[in-house]
Amino acid sequence: MNLVFIWQSVVLMISGLLLLRLAGRKSIAHMTLSQTMVMVSIGTIIAHPIVGFSVGKAITAAGVFVVFLVALEYLQVKFNGFEKFLTGKSVTVIENGMVQMDTLRKLRLTLEQLEMQMRNQGLNNIHDIKIGTIEPNGHLGYELNDDAKPLTVGQFKQMMASFSSQNPLVPALENEKKTQDDSSIFQDIKRLHK
């Protein structure tokens, strides 16, 4: 086996990763048709030198690509800095309800694309977002302002506890809820697995 061929496969893989990294952080689902065509073309161009070889060499090259990919994934898990280099890190695009337009431009995202991601997350007001980030996978991550956060069960229990001291009907409601909990479908599953 020719070691030069293996090194060519590794060089092609590294150059392909760098080219795709430079191309942006959008996942295939978020790419336009032209962006998808460019990505597919990069893969074809990178694979073209390998395809010219025999079937055995093509299979070997594909194997080298897979081994290289598994090795990269292992290194990402082992070393935090390596993960940041390969996949990138989250980029803040919204701070205290204000869109960071310069950052959007650097990411080559339009305001409309950001708003589309917000709608997909069920967000309808940009001012409700304390901090919003574009994650390495291209998705929107966010933290809501305190006033926009939904009520949690713990907060509800605290409110009910303070309310129950003022209203004698609340303990009766709590007892009714306990009997309803005993008949939930999850209780049936627990009984079946005992």
**Token output for 184:** 């939930």
3-state secondary structure at position 135: coil
What is the model's pLDDT at position 103? Answer: 94
What is the model's pLDDT at position 97? Answer: 92
What is the model's pLDDT at position 17? Answer: 72
**Token output for 80:** 């935090």
The amino acid at 27: S
What is the model's pLDDT at position 179? Answer: 47
Q: Is the pTM of this model over 0.75?
A: no
Q: At what angle do helices 3-23 and 33-51 cross, to 10 degrees?
A: 170
Q: How many residues in total does the chain contain?
A: 194
**Alpha carbon distance 51, 56 (integer Å):** 10
> DSSP letter string over 71-94?
HHHHHHHH-HHHHHHHH---EEEE
From first to last of its 194 residues, the chain has per-residue pLDDT tens of 577 777 777 777 777 677 666 655 555 555 655 556 666 766 776 676 666 665 556 556 666 766 777 787 788 888 888 878 777 788 999 999 999 999 999 998 999 999 999 999 999 899 999 999 998 878 899 999 988 888 888 888 888 888 777 765 555 545 545 444 455 555 555 555 55
What is the model's pLDDT at position 20? Answer: 65
Bridge partners (DSSP) of residue 140 are 134
Extents of the domains making up the chain: 3-86, 91-148, 158-192
CB atoms within 10 A of CB 192: 7
For the domain made up of 91-148, give the CATH fold. CRO Repressor (3.30.240)
